[in-house]
Chain A
């Protein structure tokens, strides 16, 4: 194997003939084989590969499910039961797909928080980060529409509540709503178009993922120190090192996935969705899927319909501005003692919001939701910009290699001031 990322030279004559016409093997070689990877990546960096796996898994199981599913309000529920009962391994396909959505979000949340912790959004990776936020938005739209398809009570009422949220948008809200409904309420046309879009979006996600990976391969990967690769000694080739690590982590993640699919397949779901959609009865608690709960809590924390909708969308949109909201010159939170505490408070705040999203909007739940919502925005809009000026970061290692090898030798001996400076350029 070549030690340095080098131009790919095909061995066979056929390979040369093909490569001169479509240099795809060279692209794969430079992107996934010779591509230099920081040698100090920890297991949080394997979630990118896990997410690619989950996307493919969702597409494959989804394509098979679509062969049996009937996107018609009169037949949808029945066709899902047909899949569960009569189609060979249909229960497996459906549980893989339903739990796969949850696993996808588990992985994406770890991936996002990893990015936040290690400052992976900072220059020169802003476009990479924003593409990630776009993928996340597309994932949420896909997941929401997918949940409508079984046409159970939660499907129907979830669709009703969410489409009513959009009606709060001034001027165009009502038009958007009726374009989504295709009728005077959520009904068969709604189900039909949701199915169509649910089938389309994953391929759009796939497209944005390609851009995301491309945007990653231009500046290269961030790493736990935040110090960029300075010499060949800081890096190792993607294959076999990162490849085998990603495969190992994906298989471990699969154990977690399989545990849910085979032993508690309905843990993430709602019992009410095993009741066919009934427009005349609303379930006692309408709760979205767990991965939407923090945003649902933010929506309900604001006592005004439009205000709640704005807050909810803003809470996602604010992520896109993080590269500019963070003023610190140090990337990795490992060297930011103050921010480290605020980071974990944010994690706790997000979990608290998630828990509140599942609670009825009454009594002190509302007040706590409001405080937690306020904190969420304060974190991004106040703490993140201010901390860059206030905080005194820890000394950075001179290089990745030094951080790996020289915890004793090099790390402490470096003058602090000299360390913090050079990395901002990277």
Chain B
């Protein structure tokens, strides 16, 4: 090691200097990571393009499911038949894997319209409509089954298909991406 005299004369000052330098350098190195990580977050154009989108419901026939995109994510808009609504409402919630009443998944007075994200909550495949045991959706990738309310009823999916933020501006128009109409 270094000669003992120097170490004895001023041990604290040297230690302090080394620690301070090392600490400042470490802070600098850690801060340097920040802009690089930040650059990977959704850029300003992508964020701005995620503005709410308006969808006209009039062309959607009874029983039909249409696909729209908001922020690049797939969304199902399902015009449910009375039978489908009844099937969704008559379920004993306690038996569900992810218990949720059908009324909590639609807007009051608009039970006809089910609007859910279109990617399976298991690993993100797109489930097929009007298929599976409950005639809701059936995911072809790993066999998850959803009912006419988009709730998981079988297979590996852990949760129901989530409902995106949206609001009715008129009886036949919705805005996806904002909860409350302006």
Contacts and interface: CB of A to CB of B under 8 A. Distances in A.
A and B touch in the complex (CB under 8 A): yes
Interface of A: 1, 60, 64, 67-68, 82, 85-90, 92-93, 247
A244 B164 CA distance: 56
B104 interface: no
Interface in B39-92: 39-41, 43-46
Nearest to A89: B35
B43 A87 contact: yes
The 9 closest A-B pairs by CB, nearest first: A89-B35, A86-B45, A88-B38, A86-B44, A86-B43, A87-B43, A89-B39, A89-B38, A88-B39
A252 to B, nearest CB: 14
A149 B90 CA distance: 62
Given A67-B39, A86-B43, A247-B25, 13 more contacts: A64-B39, A67-B40, A68-B39, A82-B45, A85-B44, A85-B45, A86-B44, A86-B45, A87-B39, A89-B35, A89-B38, A90-B39, A92-B35
Contacts of B1: 1
B131 to A, nearest CB: 38
B40 to A, nearest CB: 8
Contacts of B38: 88-89
B36 interface: yes
Nearest to B46: A86
Contacts of A68: 39, 43
Nearest to B28: A251
A254 B36 CA distance: 18
B39 A93 contact: yes
Contacts of B46: 86
A67 B25 CA distance: 28
Contacts of A60: 36
23 contacts: A67-B40, A68-B39, A68-B43, A82-B43, A85-B44, A85-B45, A86-B43, A86-B44, A86-B45, A86-B46, A87-B39, A87-B43, A87-B44, A88-B39, A88-B41, A88-B43, A88-B44, A89-B38, A90-B39, A90-B43, A93-B35, A93-B39, A247-B25
Contacts of B36: 60, 64, 89, 93
Interface in B1-29: 1, 25
Contacts of A92: 35
Contacts of B25: 247
A6 to B, nearest CB: 15
A93 B33 CA distance: 12
